[in-house]
Amino acid sequence: MGVREVRPGIFWVGVNDRTTDLFEGVWPLPHGVSYNAYLVVGDKTALIDGVKAPFSDELLRNIAQVLPPEELDYIVVNHMEPDHSGSLPLLRRVAPDATVLATAAALPMLVRFYGISEGVVAVSDGESLDLGGKVLRFYHIPFVHWPETMATYEATEKVLFPCDAFGGFRALDGVLFDDEVDVAEYEDEILRYFSNIVGMHSKPVLRAIEKLQGLEIAVIAPSHGLVWRRDPGHIVELYARWARMEAAPGVTVIFGSMYGFTARAAEEVARGAAEAGAPVRVLDAGRTHVSVLIREAWKRRGLVLGAPTYDAEIFPPVEHLLRLLERKRLRGRVAGLFGAYGWRGGSVDKMRERVEALGWEVVDAVAFHGMPTSDDLARARALGEAVARRVVGGTPGQGL
């Protein structure tokens, strides 16, 4: 996409990745992702973050449009995950005199990932670096996303480089800034990124927001996705809301079904919720990637899970979702549960144990033997209705 000027003397030199199928080897990228890197040019120069290793040449070509890469003075490593640090070995060879700046916690990773131990300086929390005409300040924000993470702030242009924080999936389609797009079109992929990648670190996200809120910020320039210059407060507000586990007053129905018994009940749950006035989304766990299920669970306060009993346990796609929601530590949901069994039940009781351990409120649970009877279907409809009534017009979300 070439180089873009973010502010005078500050340039986006990142890349779009439209070829990686799975982010972190797990999460699909149907719309790609960007690795944003930035050049800050004062009397001295600094590269903020890098890119995934296969894109290193493209990064170098972009840097070369602004300055000879071998003349770089500093390489700021906000975060060591290789989607940003993978270009370090090539940068080191091209610019051997550039000083690498990172937190102390990143130093062992630099050695173990890339064998880099020389020319590295650990920066302390709040430390400043005067580049001459530009001033960098470093703020440690551990666990957003890894323990070694920091954000860098350029004080003269008031640009915050928070790396993973405030980022999102989706490559940049010829644009860079929030004022060049309909932001609403990007928000689903931003939330899928947040809930799948950063969500389990929601408390550190809130701590980071609190720590950085005193800064005067004109631009938020994360290392994935849009750069926020029209309304930086919008992405901060989205992240804060998601990290507080606040959610819309709607109902997500996620079900798995082997032979259609549980699926039939799912339709009644949805009907009941809709009749009670809730926006409803229904997803088949067996046919929807779990990253989307996690995002949709994050989005609405009501969450009704349907799973037949399988191997005397919860139907595997729904159990997999539950396991990941436990790992992501999703809180504050109003739950309903339902499911069929063939000869012996268990799924609904086991789901109840799991979601109660998450602290969710369980409104009701409906188990039925085989094809749901008209009475079972009425109970399923009442379940959807009860969850919807609990979330529509209620207090959004709960604290962590």
In whole angstroms, how close is the CB of 34 to ligand FEO at the nearest point?
Answer: 10
One residue of 17, 73, 164, 319 binding ligand FEO per CB under 6 A: 164
Contacts with ligand FEO by CB under 6 A: the residue count is: 8
Give, as ranges, the residues between 223 and 252 that touch ligand FEO (CB under 6 A): 223-224
Establish if 264 lies at the interface with ligand FEO (CB under 6 A). no
Contact assessment for residue 140 and residue 192, using Cβ atoms and an 8 Å cutoff: no
* Of residues 79 and 350, the one with the C-beta less far from ligand FEO: 79
How near is the Cβ of 79 to ligand FEO at its closest, in Å? 6
Alpha carbon 177 to chain centroid, angstroms: 19
Cα separation, 141 vs 369, in Å, equals 51
- Strand-pairing partners, residue 15, are 35
Q: In whole angstroms, give the CA distance from residue 79 to residue 32.
A: 20
User: Packing angle between helix 261-275 and helix 374-391, nearest 10 degrees?
Assistant: 40
Site membership for ligand FEO, residue 300 (CB under 6 A):
no
Tell me the closest approach of the beta carbon of residue 23 to ligand FEO, in angstroms.
Answer: 8
145 binds ligand FEO (CB under 6 A): yes
Among candidates 19, 224, 95, 40, which has minimal Cα distance to 87? Answer: 95
Q: Which of 7, 84, 134, 201 is the binder for ligand FEO (CB under 6 A)?
A: 84
φ and ψ of 130, to 5 deg: -85, 115
Q: State yes or no: residue 79 binds ligand FEO (CB under 6 A).
A: yes
Q: Which is nearer to ligand FEO, 224 or 390 (CB)?
A: 224
Told to check if 201 binds ligand FEO by CB under 6 A, we report: no
Q: Are 38 and 154 in contact (CB under 8 A)?
A: no
CA 60 – CA 70 distance, rounded (Å): 10
Cα separations in angstroms, 399 against 47, 161, 302, 353: 38, 28, 16, 21
Task: State residue 158 phi and psi, 5-degree precision.
Answer: 60, 45
Name the one range near ligand FEO by CB under 6 A: 80-88, 114-122, 238-246, 261-269: 80-88
> Any contact of residue 178 with ligand FEO (CB under 6 A)?
no
Could you tell me what percentage of the chain is helix, strand and coil, using 3-state DSSP and rounding each to the nearest 5?
A: 35, 25, 40
Q: Is the dihedral of CA 123, 129, 134, 140 positive or negative?
A: positive
Least distance (Å) between residue 396 CB and ligand FEO: 28
The verdict on 83 binding ligand FEO (CB under 6 A) reads: yes
The single residue among 73, 81, 296, 319 that binds ligand FEO, judged by CB under 6 A, is 81
192 is a contact residue toward ligand FEO (CB under 6 A): no
189 near ligand FEO, judged by CB under 6 A: no
Minimum CB distance to ligand FEO smaller for 34 or for 347: 34
Q: Which residues bind ligand FEO (CB under 6 A)?
A: 79, 81, 83-84, 145, 164, 223-224
